[in-house]
Structures are given as C-alpha cells and as structure tokens.
Amino acid sequence: MTTTLEPHAETVARNRYYLKNTKGETIEDGNALFSRVAEAIAKVEDDYFTLPVEKDLLKQEFIDIMERLEFIPNSPTLMNAGTEQGTLSACFVLPLEDSMQEIMKTAQDMAMVQKFGGGTGFSLSRLRPTGTSIKTTHGKACGPIEVLKTLSRVSSMVTQAGKRDGANMAVMSVYHPDILNFIDCKATEGDIHNFNISVGVDSRWMKMVEHDMSYGLIDPHTNHLVDMLSARYVFTKIVEGAWRNGEPGMIFLDEVNKDNKVSEQYGEMIATNPCGEQPLLGNESCNLGSINVAKFYRSVPSYDASGLVSENIDTSWEEHINWQRLAKVTKLATNFLDNVIDANYYATPEIEQMTKSTRKIGVGIMGFADLLIQLRVSYNSEDARKIAGILIQFITQEADLASLDLAARRGTFPAWEQSSFDHVTETYRNACRMTVAPTGTISMLADCSSGIEPTFALAWRKQNILKEETGEAQTLTYVNKYFEQEAKDREFYSEDLMTYLAEGGSLQDRTDVPNDIKEIYITSPELLPEEHVLMQAAFQSYVDSGISKTINMPNDATVQDVWDTYMLAWKTECKGITVYRAGSREKEILVKGIKNEDVTFDCCENPKIIYESGCHKCLSCDWSACEIA
C-alpha cells in the first residue's frame, strides 16, 4: 500500500526521520522510510536460519503494520535502522559507582549513548555523601549533586543525532544522607535542565510517612547509620518541590522490582530512563514500539427487533475492537522488537552484553484517548478504566505468547536459567515485554493521541506560510479530527467555538454544545488528578515495566493535592508518579491557550508549549522534546 501521511505527520517525518543526501536534500518518503526500517530489522532473520520466503513475508508484514500506522517503533529505530550507524534503542540506564574512574567512565558512556539518540538514566544512591573523607587523597567527597551537575554539563555538550540536547533521569534513594539536597537541586528554574529527577522509595518508607515516623539515613559507602529524619517532613519536601515545578517525581522501587526476574543474578533495578517508564539494570537498554489502538476500532451495525439497522441500539464496546487484527499486530511487534536487539549498534561492549543477557523489549500503546472517543466513552469514567484493563491485558497476553514462541524457536534470553521465572511455563525470549512510553513524536507521525494520555486540546493555533515568495503568514486554527467531524455532523460547529477553544476556553462552559459531547471530549486539564492516577493504575496492573503518564493539575492546585496524588499512586501500586501543575514553570511551560512572554522555546514563531507525559510538545508546530520514545 502507499503511505499517505497527514500534513503535520509529513513534517515530522521530514524533519526527524527521512534520510538526506550530502546536500541536505530529503531522499525518502513514507514508503521508503518504512521499507528501509523493515528491511534492516527483517535481515536479522538470517541469523536464525529463517527460510528466505518466510523472511520476505515477515519483512512485508513489518512494512504493512507501519504503513497502516498500526505500529511504530521508537524514534532511534526510525532514524537509524538501515544506515549502519547510531543506536536503535531509546532507553538506557548506566551504572554509577563510587570512584573517580567509574564516574568518568559513566560520563563517557553517557556521551556515546546520547550521541546517537539514546536517553540515559542513573542512580546516585551508591555515591558517598557530601563531605565524606576520601582515604586515597585525604580529601572530602564532593557528593552526588556535584556528580549530577558534572553529568549534566557533559550531556549539554552532546547533541543527540544532531537534533537536540541529551535527555536524562537521576534517581536517589530516600535513605541517602544527601536526600534533602537532591530534592531541592532543581528548585531554581533552569538548573540541571537536561535531567528529570525522582526519589526512590519503598512501601516501608511510605508507611512511615503515614504514621509520622522517623527513619535512618544510611551511608552507602560504609552502610552505617548517619542521621535520622522525619519521613513525613521529607515527603512534604518532595510534594512541595513537585507543586513548585514538577520536580521531583517518585519511583516506588519495591513495585518496580516485583517484575525484576533476574535480581538474584544482577541485583535490583534502581533507576529508569528519562521519562520514567523503563526501569532497567545498570548497562541495560530497551527498545520500544507502540501499537496505535485507535486503528483497531471498527463500526458494528446494530439491529432492532425487526432485523433492521438501528442507530438507537448500542452494542458492547468489545464488538468494536478488531481483536484478531490486534493480536496479529502485537505478535509482529514483539518479533520486530526482539530483532532490533540483534540489529542494534551498541555504544559500549558492556551495554551490548547486558542487553543481550536479558533481551528486554517494550511493546506499548498510543491512541488510547482516540479509541475512547470512537467508543463514545469518557476518559474519566469507570468504563474507560475497565476498557484500559481489558485492552492492555489482551495485548500483554499476546506479547507473552509471541515471546514464548520466539523462545521455542530461538532460545530463552541467556539470563533465564538463573531467573525466577517458572522454568516450565514461563520460557520467555524476553525478560520484560511491555512498556507504555510517552510516544511524543511517533504519535504525531501516526496522527493519534499520545500514549495513554487524554486529549490535551480540541483546538489550537498554528502559523502557516501561505506564499513562499512573499513570506506571507497566517494563523490557522487546527481542530481535533474527531471533534471537528462530529461538530459538523451534529451542526454545532462554528468558527466562534473553534476560536474560543484555541484560546484556551473550556468546552464545558459552552451552552451551544450538547452535554454528551462535553463528556466524550473532556480534555486533560479538566480531569481531576485522581482520575489521571486511576487510569495509570488500570494499565500498570498488566505492564511488567513502567507507565509514562503525567498527572496534569490546574494552576490553583494545592500542595495537599500533590500529597494526595502521590499517596494514591502508591496505594494503587503504580511504579512511578510525575505531576505537573499548569504554569508552574514560568520560562518553560505554556498551558493551553495562554501565551507566556518569557517563553524560551524557539521552535516556531508562535510557540504554545504543553507538558504531557514527560515531554515538552508544541501545539503550534510539530516540535517535540521526547522523540526518544
């Protein structure tokens, strides 16, 4: 089939993914892009003695699911597959040990990973506290925050794939003596700008917060108790920081390690990738890809008692999902991502060895909000959360079956023998199979909503150049495609309504819009924080890695609101939590419809930046700062 991308998706592809010649001229289109990627990934089949005819069929199926925009791999794969340069994986965690040699080695490895588009995560928890004596030099340790700043400066020197600054995550255990300094290390806007930060906690500590107990800070170098702090005081500092500017998030490490099946061999996972959805061991990488679930909606005619088609009889939502096609695409996606591990270029031998030992992949989804719209279900309803659970359970089961089948043909992942998987029923090819990523740029390419996020805006404005010879520009209003069609079909469409929405107005305040439309097209800023969290939890139940989900809050949200949200995330067994209060980053974030004169982004003439699922995205153009996923 011929790939026809929407105009904004074509812009994304041209700027991010299409190959260029030495003159900077684009030499690919959508078909060539997907063919290049499929060819490179299917070539791996030769290593497993797949028959040529079967390999060619598989390659065509890879092309087919990408051209249909049913499945899109993470951006490094789109950018680098078939070019014989650059990594194909998005997510990395690098070890950070307590010696000068190890710190410098980590900095060098980070630079090599980020040079070709990977995002890196680190745990600062093993670094000795600030001021600790160093026997070899008779000096004092500079401490984890100075190491963090050093890594940040190195990351700023690297332009990922020639397109953007490096992206990073730093995690520190709540038991580290420097935890209070870590919580406040990004209090000043712009400091350590290329790192997200999260505090690693466990249920034991969260219970101490509930009961207002004190706990011990442990020097990781000596394992000695060095101080006591009130758990509730520390938690208050965390939520105050998150209220102030979205930092820090929290990672519930005991929940993370419930799915760590190789802990006896390799230890615990104590860090994640930059957007938080992929916990990994030191030197592990993971390649991701997302299924556009909106593509599996199908219309089903309803019949009344006379056998005639009726528009008044509703059918079960499950009848509207093409489960057979979804199962096939999930299995193909699993095969695709497993092949990426072998087709990949690795920045260091250690990363290659560790990645191939566990062979983790991340099958995820995008377009969930679009699917709910088609199903006529409100995002903040109990029905939506039920659909989320059933949908992701089905995809997980199919990915697991595909991984079992791959293991039967190719062998289990090398670390499986010493893993805690059931050695009779859980003979997997991949130690982890599922990850829900933010899909910042690939959702633009697929013309669908991001990850599992709700719709952020129904209308927005964008600068268009109408006449190249004169440079004449006009601001045009762009509208959510489902909303626009329904508004016209039901005859409440008006330019006044669209302008109102593009300027930040709420659909809920309009008397000219039917109530059922207001329910179906509820947007992210209109949701309660707990509704965001409960949706994240609905998906997390069936995902063995993490979920990228930003809990959007209104500007007038209180510190107590953040407190309650973080507590709810823990109690509903999420693996991590990130909040963002609208307008809390004066020079970085623009909320829907509000122009901030101090904005520092220069992606277009009229930037309208939003913060969604760990990403900066512009509604006025096609720019996104989380294309690693």
Indicate if 530 belongs to the active site.
no
Model confidence, pTM? 0.92
Across the range 392-420, mean pLDDT stands at 98
Find the helix packing angle between 382-410 and 368-375, rounded to 10°.
Answer: 130
Res 597: pLDDT: 41
Residue 118 in contact with residue 628, Cβ under 8 Å? yes
113 - beta bridge partners?
none
Residue 627 in contact with residue 275, Cβ under 8 Å? no
Distance separating alpha carbons of residues 599 and 306, to the nearest angstrom: 61
Res 598: pLDDT: 41
DSSP state letters, 438-486: --TTHHHHTTS--TTPPP--SEEEEEEEEETTTTEEEEEEEE-HHHHHH
**Domains in the chain, ordered, with CATH?**
91-272 (3.20.70.20), 459-618 (no CATH)
Indicate if 484 belongs to the active site.
no
Residue 64 in contact with residue 75, Cβ under 8 Å? no
Question: In one letter, which amino acid is 55?
Answer: K
Res 165: pLDDT: 63
State the catalytic residue, choosing from 273, 380, 552, 596.
273
State the catalytic residue, choosing from 185, 275, 603, 618.
275
Residue 365 in contact with residue 291, Cβ under 8 Å? yes
Across the range 360-370, mean pLDDT stands at 98
Distance separating alpha carbons of residues 355 and 374, to the nearest angstrom: 39
Distance separating alpha carbons of residues 300 and 316, to the nearest angstrom: 10
pLDDT per position as a tens digit, 467-503: 444 455 555 567 899 999 999 999 999 999 999 998 8
Res 595: pLDDT: 45
Residue 307 in contact with residue 580, Cβ under 8 Å? no
> pLDDT-based confidence at 629, cuts 50/70/90?
very low
Residue 307 in contact with residue 470, Cβ under 8 Å? no
Indicate if 432 belongs to the active site.
no
> pLDDT at residue 613 above 60?
no
Average pLDDT, the chain: 89
pLDDT per position as a tens digit, 309-363: 545 445 589 999 999 999 999 999 999 999 999 999 999 999 999 999 999 999 9
Of 138-147, 277-286, 563-572, the poorest mean pLDDT is in: 138-147
Residue 454 in contact with residue 379, Cβ under 8 Å? yes
| pLDDT over 70, % of the chain | 86
Of 163-172, 183-192, 263-272, 497-506, the poorest mean pLDDT is in: 163-172
* Residue spans of beta strands (DSSP E) within 333-420: 361-366
Res 628: pLDDT: 42
Strands 285-292 and 91-93, by their bridges, are antiparallel
The radius of gyration computed from the CA coordinates of the chain, to the nearest angstrom, equals 24
> pLDDT at residue 574 above 90?
yes
DSSP state letters, 152-186: HHHHHH-EETTTEE--EEEEEETTSTTHHHHHTTT
Distance separating alpha carbons of residues 323 and 349, to the nearest angstrom: 41
Residue 126 in contact with residue 143, Cβ under 8 Å? no
Res 74: pLDDT: 95
pLDDT per position as a tens digit, 61-112: 999 999 999 999 999 999 999 998 889 999 999 999 999 999 999 999 999 9
pLDDT per position as a tens digit, 583-599: 887 654 444 544 444 44
Distance separating alpha carbons of residues 549 and 362, to the nearest angstrom: 16
Res 591: pLDDT: 46
**Residue from 371, 237, 358 nearest 292 by CA:** 371
User: Exposed, middle or buried: residue 424 (CB in 10 Å: 0-12, 13-18, 19+)?
Assistant: exposed
- Residue, of 605 and 222, whose pLDDT is higher: 222
For residue 547, CA distances in Å to 13, 366, 433, 486, 541 come to 26, 12, 13, 31, 10
Question: In one letter, which amino acid is 292?
Answer: N
State the catalytic residue, choosing from 277, 284, 453, 627.
277
Res 140: pLDDT: 86
Burial 349-377 (b: 16+ CB within 10 A, else e): ebbbebbbbbbbbbbbbbbbbbbbbbbeb
Res 469: pLDDT: 41
Across the range 500-507, mean pLDDT stands at 90
Res 460: pLDDT: 78
